[in-house]
Amino acid sequence: MQPIGIIHSPFRKKEYTQIQPCRSHSKGQVEVFPEFVDGLQDLDGFSHIILLYYFHCSKGYSLRVKPFLDHKLHGLFSTRYPCRPNPIGLSVVRLVSITANILEIQGVDILDGTPLLDVKPYIPEFDRVDGVRAGWFEIRNKPEQRC
Amino acid sequence: MQPIGIIHSPFRKKEYTQIQPCRSHSKGQVEVFPEFVDGLQDLDGFSHIILLYYFHCSKGYSLRVKPFLDHKLHGLFSTRYPCRPNPIGLSVVRLVSITANILEIQGVDILDGTPLLDVKPYIPEFDRVDGVRAGWFEIRNKPEQRC
């Protein structure tokens, strides 16, 4: 695994980044390293992209964690907690524009300086699921409590 | 990065796996290695999960590719093509049941024997986006041409 770019965001500290209760409206930039810029062709046709990145500030992991949006312990794989055996983060963000190797994005919940591993197009046919049951998250975060 | 399990599916050959034109109904199993089983607690409350896995049969990459669902060249990052600088695959699948360290799943488009890197809960508030524009994919795969 090698970084293919760096994610820039307004979030400089873990404490302020990870407690986003719902989709952030914050803007950020994805800087794709110049040697990969040819791979961005046609990406501007997509309104949303999936970013995979390395949770570079996470150290070690526990299999039972208290996620940021609950006060109870849950199995690590039923949470999005950043400390994981393979600390890969996943965020769906809006792609605002592309200029050369810089992607302007919106809806960022990622720490500034995070190494980028991959960019994939968000394709509703693959990635958008209706009628989902969302376990403890749904119980803990009732609609009226969300932003 | 280390595998935390193995994905079992009916797809034994790349040629038959990668041309799934839309969400497969095929069933499969995710075998999570016993040392990680405690991390599965509460996952059964979620109807869908995100699997991150290693495209172990992919060798090298090109920044311009013809994806399986089009006959034109596109930038690699505007496709889900498996040969990537960091060959991480991402699939949203239905979680049917969990028995010990085995997750029964449906909607599999993954090669049999694929190393599992991570399991995350699918949380509509983070992962489900409406009103998406899907570039070349949308143009190429008009609704009437889909399954």
| Cβ–Cβ gap B75/A22 under 8 Å | no
Q: A44 to chain B: which residues are within 8 Å by CB?
A: 135
Which of A127, A136, A138, A145 to probe the B interface (max B CBs under 10 A)?
A: A127
Distance from the Cα of B35 to chain A's closest Cα (Å) equals: 10
pLDDT tens per residue, range A46-97: 999 999 999 998 899 999 999 877 889 999 999 999 999 999 999 999 999 9
Q: What is the separation, in whole angstroms, between the first and last Cα of chain A?
A: 36
Give the pLDDT score at A15: 60
User: What is the number of alpha carbons within 13 Å of residue B24 lying toward its C-beta?
Assistant: 21
pLDDT tens per residue, range B26-49: 899 999 999 999 999 999 999 999
- CB crowding B70-107: b at 16 or more within 10 Å, else e: beeebbbbbbbbbebbbbbbbbbbbbeebeeebbebeb
Chain A residue with minimal CA distance to B81?
A120
pLDDT tens per residue, range B69-102: 788 999 999 999 999 999 999 999 999 999 999 9
Mean pLDDT of the A129-134 span: 93
pLDDT tens per residue, range A86-118: 999 999 999 999 999 999 999 998 999 999 999
Of the pLDDT bands very low, low, confident and very high (cuts 50, 70, 90), residue A17 is: low
Asked if residue B58 has pLDDT above 70, the reply is yes
Q: Which residues pair with A103 in a beta bridge?
A: A30, A98
Which domain, by its residues, includes A77? Answer: 5-145
Of the pLDDT bands very low, low, confident and very high (cuts 50, 70, 90), residue A140 is: confident
The closest of B113, B115, B110, B108 to B94, measured between CA atoms, is B108
The closest of A78, A77, A63, A51 to A138, measured between CA atoms, is A78
- Percentage with pLDDT > 90 across chain A: 73
Instruction: Report the domain count for chain A.
Output: 1
Give the pLDDT score at A117: 98
Q: Which residue carries 């669902």 as its tokens?
A: B69
Q: How much is the pTM? A: 0.92
Tell me the average pLDDT of chain A: 89
Of the pLDDT bands very low, low, confident and very high (cuts 50, 70, 90), residue B20 is: very low
Burial of A141: CB neighbours in 10 Å, binned 0-12, 13-18, 19+: middle
The closest of B53, B55, B82 to B66, measured between CA atoms, is B82
Q: Which residues pair with A116 in a beta bridge?
A: A5, A53
Are B115 and B14 within 8 A, CB to CB?
A: no
CATH code of the domain in which B49 resides: 2.40.30.70
Give the pLDDT score at B12: 84
Mean pLDDT of the B113-137 span: 95
Q: Are strands B102-106 and B88-99 parallel, antiparallel or unpaired?
A: antiparallel
Are B14 and B55 within 8 A, CB to CB?
A: no
Per-residue DSSP letters for B105-124?
EES--S-TTEEEEEEEE--H
Question: CA dist B8 to A90, A119, A132, B109, Å?
Answer: 23, 26, 24, 11
